[in-house]
Amino acid sequence: MLRQRFVLDTTALTDSLAWESEGCTGICEGMNAILNRVAEGRLHLGISCYIPYPSVYSEIKDFSRHNNCDAAVMSKVDTWLVKKTPDRYKVKVPSKIFYEYVDYMRSRINKGMNISEEAVWESVTRCIALSEGGANLKDMKDEIEREVVGGVIRKFREKYRAALRYGILDSGPDIDVLLLAKELDAAVVSQDLGIQRWAEQLGLRFMESRSFPIMIKEYMSAMPGLYADEKEEDRMI
């Protein structure tokens, strides 16, 4: 079998659909199960899994700590995932990617600006409607904050977040994943739509986090004689 390399994003371990496919119901249990799959792939299939250091490694460490996972999870991270800092100076990225990214970000920023304008107009219109009752601004202050401002801000945040975060690279770890995969000629494992979009632009192989443990499981099941000893023990019992 061709030896494969994978660069894992944080979502490769934390995405709920990834660990639910392993029959897990909690995040710590799920991370542990996926790391066990990675261990199987390393030992029996020669699969190498990398994470950018320190960016993605720190994210995984913080995620484990915030969810009160036991030390065994990080121990498996340190054992089965290769920590490597991408060579940010030598990895070559086509200049066309930068032009496309700037153009893409401009369209996202313009969309965010339009959403901001809509929120301002909505708040002004609703305030005018409230003032038609004849009450002065001081008397309406609490009502405006409760009925207008809070609702408009919540709606604005949801739309703005969707407009500016969907499909973009919004953190250093995201970029490190792509650079390391480019450097190693490895496949990217992530559930992040921004990473997926730009992995495609860079010509990198991409796999969704939820499919990664399933792939290893399928590889393992196709290896003849791998579990022969276990099957023999089952027959003897």
Give the Cα separation of 173 and 196 in Å (integer).
14
Whole-angstrom CA distances from 200 to 19, 182, 190, 195 are 25, 11, 13, 9
Architecture of the CATH domain 5-85+172-236 = 3-Layer(aba) Sandwich (3.40)
Q: Residue 140's pLDDT is what?
A: 66
Strand ranges for 13-74 from DSSP E: 48-52
Q: Residue 3's pLDDT is what?
A: 74
Whole-angstrom CA distances from 29 to 23, 69, 179, 198, 207 are 9, 8, 30, 31, 22
Q: Report the DSSP beta bridge partners of residue 48.
A: 5
Give the Cα separation of 187 and 199 in Å (integer).
9
Question: In the structure encoding, which two tokens stand for residue 217, read together?
Answer: 């499981």
At 187, give phi and psi (nearest 5°).
Answer: -85, 150
Q: Kindly give the pairing relationship between strand 5-8 and strand 187-190.
A: parallel
Q: What are the pLDDT tens digits along the chain (237 aa)?
A: 457 999 999 999 999 989 888 899 899 999 999 999 999 999 999 999 999 999 999 999 999 999 999 999 999 999 999 999 999 999 988 888 878 888 877 887 888 888 888 888 788 787 777 666 655 656 666 666 666 777 788 888 888 777 776 667 778 899 999 999 999 999 999 999 889 989 999 999 999 999 999 999 999 988 876 654 444 444 444
Q: Residue 236's pLDDT is what?
A: 46
Asked if residues 173 and 56 have their Cβ atoms less than 8 Å apart, the reply is yes
Give the Cα separation of 55 and 74 in Å (integer).
15
